[in-house]
Structure 1
Amino acid sequence: MKPAAARRPLLLCALAAAAALSFLLVAPPPPLAAHLSTLLLTFPASPYAPRPKLLFLLAGQSNMAGRGIAPSPLPPPFRPHPRVLRLAASRRWVVAAPPLHADIDTHKACGLGPAMPFAHRLLRESGGDSSLVLGLVPSAVGGTRIWMWARGEPLYEAAVARARAALGAGGGTLGAVLWFQGESDTIELDDATAYGGRMERLVNDLRADLGIPDLLVIQVYLLFRAHLD
């Protein structure tokens, strides 16, 4: 068993992931407002860009990319923070602000996803460590099935390339892959049946191609309880 100190980063990531998802699930429906894509601002390069960062690769489909509308001003878990950065499509580090995937998932209007609440929770759980800089690497695309994320497919290769670019653009450590996907694989029984094996291959391929044998992959798991009369 790993010592407590070694398990702490994994625990923080798990807590942050749970907090991010729970916020999205329990938040009341927002009032009608302009779509979040209109809130996308062109931020200057962050002064924290050259600093080593704890990186998180954001992958999956629309649940990760973010959809919907939000009130203005943004709720606190989604507001920009100077030490939460985003790797733009241009591979330049900018201050992160929703919609994080607006220049990645370009065929749909993006909105709120779990990554910003995740990042805010990590900062809170860091004990006020002002040296901690987080780097979010958006790579999700809505409506995609898991076979489209297999090694050799464009989505997989693009995500790996962006992760490598993030590691090279200012340096840092890849803390985890945040994976939120699966709805598109519930349409056909064959896809649903094959999902477990495909997910296992995806994790193994990411670890091999990024050279991190113990790379943490945080997969969102939604449990639906059927109520039978």
Structure 2
Amino acid sequence: MRLAMMKWKPASIVCLFVLIAATPAWLRAADYDVYLLAGQSNMDGRGQASELTAEQRQPRDHAIIYYRNPPKSSNGWQPLGPGFSIAPKYKGDVPSPTFGPELGFAHEMLKTQPSRRLALIKGSKGGTNLRSDWNPGISGDPETQGPRYRDFVETIQMATKELNQRGDSFTIRGLLWHQGESDSKLTTEAYQERFLQFVHRLRQDIEVPELPVVVGEVFDNGKRDNVRAAIRAIGNRGPGFGLVTSDGTSTWDEGTHFDAASQWLLGQRYAAAMQTIQQANSNP
């Protein structure tokens, strides 16, 4: 019998609504704006979640995250909150005691776009470089690609497949990138060339040819002038690119890893830069 012809008893209708109401919002079929997050330790995040306010630590119904840093992962999509970060000496499971810019990013995006739903796909690992780890190699030839690039594309495929299986719809809206400390000895030109090759191949492999890209500055410890100049040049290269400065930030160690307040601030700056790109695209 066709569904349209079925006669539903009042009790059955009540049970159906109770079941729907009892299902967490993040598990219900929805339309998501997907953002990709990649890079090394400052994208993975070394901010201490204990230094956030209770409101900042609160999981959000309208934002989910798929985190993968092999061998650790979020075990599928989870409500966004602190802890999707793996510091070098951390031996436990996710969620961990640390976080990255994803929290401030989601907070700011949802504040200005409250009707939207966010799905963040995060693949990041400390100490990685563009030369080997994130090398995009030749399309379709994993043997030529760096391990982090292969893992990231695989993570995107796994995450979007799960969204499809859940019945969700989605659009990949942009890439957030924070990396460069491990490439501080490169020339400005070499970093730009390698990163733009990475972006070009990623756009091909995930079939989003105009994927917006926002890059974040590494902290200025006086020894990263070349890579900081390269990041600024990339972020200011024109339509489809944006820049997040590290001005006014601080680190909890000797000039490398952003503290909790700075991680939150950087996330907000990523949101502002992404929204600037989106506004430009909607008003050509």
* TM-score of the two chains, using structure 2 as the length reference: 0.55
Structure 1 position 221, deviation (Å): 2.7
Would you tell me which structure has more strand in proportion to its own residues?
A: 2
Which structure has more relative contact order (CA 8 Å, sep 6+)? It is 1
Q: 1:156 aligns with which of 137, 149, 162?
A: 149
- The change in CA–CA distance for 1:66 and 1:46 in structure 2 (over 3 A counts) is farther
Give the distance between the partners of 2:104 and 2:52, measured in 1 at CA: 15
2:126 is equivalent to residue 133 of structure 1? no
1:24-173 equivalences in 2 (<5 Å) = 47-49=25-27, 50-71=29-50, 74=53, 76-88=55-67, 89=73, 92-102=76-86, 107-109=88-90, 111-126=98-113, 128-129=114-115, 132-147=116-131, 148-151=133-136, 152-170=145-163, 171-173=169-171
Structure 1 position 94, deviation (Å): 1.0
Structure 1 position 115, deviation (Å): 0.9
Give the distance between the partners of 1:214 and 1:54, measured in 2 at CA: 15
Structure 1 position 113, deviation (Å): 1.3
Q: Deviation string for 1:130-154 (max 9, x for gaps)?
A: xx22111120001111121011111
Structure 1 position 225, deviation (Å): 10
- Return the letter of the residue paired with 2:26: Y
- The change in CA–CA distance for 1:72 and 1:195 in structure 2 (over 3 A counts) is closer
- Based on CA coordinates, which of the two structures has the bigger radius of gyration? 2
Identity over the aligned pairs, expressed in percent? 30
Structure 1 position 193, deviation (Å): 4.8
Give the distance between the partners of 1:143 and 1:85, measured in 2 at CA: 26
Give the distance between the partners of 2:78 and 2:24, measured in 1 at CA: 5
Tell me which moved more, 70-79 or 158-167.
70-79
Answer yes or no: is the 8 Å Cα contact 2:63–2:119 preserved in 1.
Answer: yes
Give the distance between the partners of 2:214 and 2:156, measured in 1 at CA: 16
- The change in CA–CA distance for 1:75 and 1:205 in structure 2 (over 3 A counts) is farther
* TM-score of the two chains, using structure 1 as the length reference: 0.67
Give the distance between the partners of 2:82 and 2:128, measured in 1 at CA: 21
Unaligned residue ranges in structure 1 (runs of 5+): 1-44
- The change in CA–CA distance for 1:210 and 1:97 in structure 2 (over 3 A counts) is same
Q: 2:197 aligns with which of 196, 201, 208?
A: 201
Q: Deviation string for 1:10-44 (max 9, x for gaps)?
A: xxxxxxxxxxxxxxxxxxxxxxxxxxxxxxxxxxx
